[in-house]
Amino acid sequence: MNLFVLLKTVPDTVEELSVAADGKSLDAEWLRFKLGDADEHALEQALLLKEKHGGKVTVVAMDAPELDEALFMAYAKGADRVAKLTGELAGVQSLASARLFAAFLKQQGDPLPADTLVLVRSQAIDDLEGEIGPFLADLLGVPYIGVVTGVVPEGAGVKVTKEFAGGLRGEFSLPMPAVLGIQSAEKPPRYVPIAKVRAAMKSSTLETVDVTPEAPARVEVEKLYKPEAAGRAEMIEGSPEEVADRLVELLANQSLI
């Protein structure tokens, strides 16, 4: 299979996020970046497909802070080729980035080889103007389905599992080439020791491709801010002993114990 994985780093939400002085963006000073959860799963799903059915995994990402480590990690996990799109990419949102990725993919073959599968996160935590997958598929003229949690090759296409709600899922079949929005891989993303990542940094190189984004973001944020503190929980403070005593009392008062 001709597998492509599109990756993106997002701010790590475990860290404190604060709004920059312009009131419209995040303060970059304290941000730490990591691959999104669904990005990790998209990569894992591609590696699983390669292991089971053969083929080649190409990872491609738009240049961003702290991206290189994630890309070398992809090499260490088993990616065959890693490319980075570089240029003036600040503020490039889903639609504009889909155009860049579509151009990159078309350079690999136009039309795309019949066994091509593009795996991308189903959604990122900052996709304010929508997910990239459907945009990209539309530009490539191939089918797209998102919230995918299982992929099995079947004839000239794939059979995929998509999640709905309440545990209900659906099975769909679609021809390749196709773009899939991955929610979860069939297995948890594999772990690679940091030594293997360092080895990949020495032995492999990141291919770079210069790009020029065309479309500006279509959605202009007027204001970015933190949720108001009003309506927040009554915080219980003290040692674990004291907190536990207070919680037991509160639960007992509500006849919960």
Partner 1 sequence: MANGILILAEHLKGEVADITYEMLGAGRALADELKAPLHVAVIGPGAGAVTKGLGLADAVFTVDTPGAEVPAASTVAAVLQGLLAQKQDALVMVGWTNLAMGVGSVLSARADLPFVNFGKALRVEGGAVTVTSQLFGGKILSDVRLADGRGIIGVSAGAFPADAGRSDKAPTVEAVAVAVEAPPIQFVRFLEPEAGDVDITKQNVLVAVGRGIQTQDNISLAEELAEALGGAVCGSRPVVDQGWMPMSRQVGKSGMTVKPRLYLALGISGAPEHVEGMQNSQTIVAVNTDANAPIFDVARYGVCQDVLDLVPVLTEKIKARKG
Binders in 96-135 for partner 1, by CB under 8 A: 122-123, 125-135
Residues 6+ apart with CB under 8 A from 153: 1, 49, 53, 159
Residue 228 burial (C-beta neighbours within 10 Å; 0-12, 13-18, 19+):
exposed
165 is a contact residue toward partner 1 (CB under 8 A):
yes
The residue among 141, 143, 139 whose CA lies nearest residue 160 is: 143
256 is a contact residue toward partner 1 (CB under 8 A):
yes
247 is a contact residue toward partner 1 (CB under 8 A):
yes
User: Which structure tokens are listed for 8?
Assistant: 């993106």
Residue 19 β-bridge partners:
26
Nearer to partner 1 by C-beta: 60 or 95? Answer: 95
* Binders in 200-239 for partner 1, by CB under 8 A: 218-227, 231-237
69 is a contact residue toward partner 1 (CB under 8 A):
no
Asked if 137 contacts 178 with a C-beta cutoff of 8 angstroms, the reply is yes
Tell me the window of 70-78, 84-92, 113-121, 172-180 that interacts with partner 1 (CB under 8 A): 172-180
Nearer to partner 1 by C-beta: 175 or 208? Answer: 175
Binding-site size for partner 1 (CB under 8 A) equals: 84
Task: Measure the CA–CA gap between 83 and 58, rounded to whole angstroms.
Answer: 8
Amino acid identity at 182: I
Which residue from 16, 29, 88, 210 is in contact with partner 1, where contact means CB under 8 A?
A: 16
Which residue from 49, 85, 161, 213 is in contact with partner 1, where contact means CB under 8 A?
A: 161
Asked if 5 contacts 46 with a C-beta cutoff of 8 angstroms, the reply is yes
Which residue from 64, 144, 180, 197 is in contact with partner 1, where contact means CB under 8 A?
A: 144
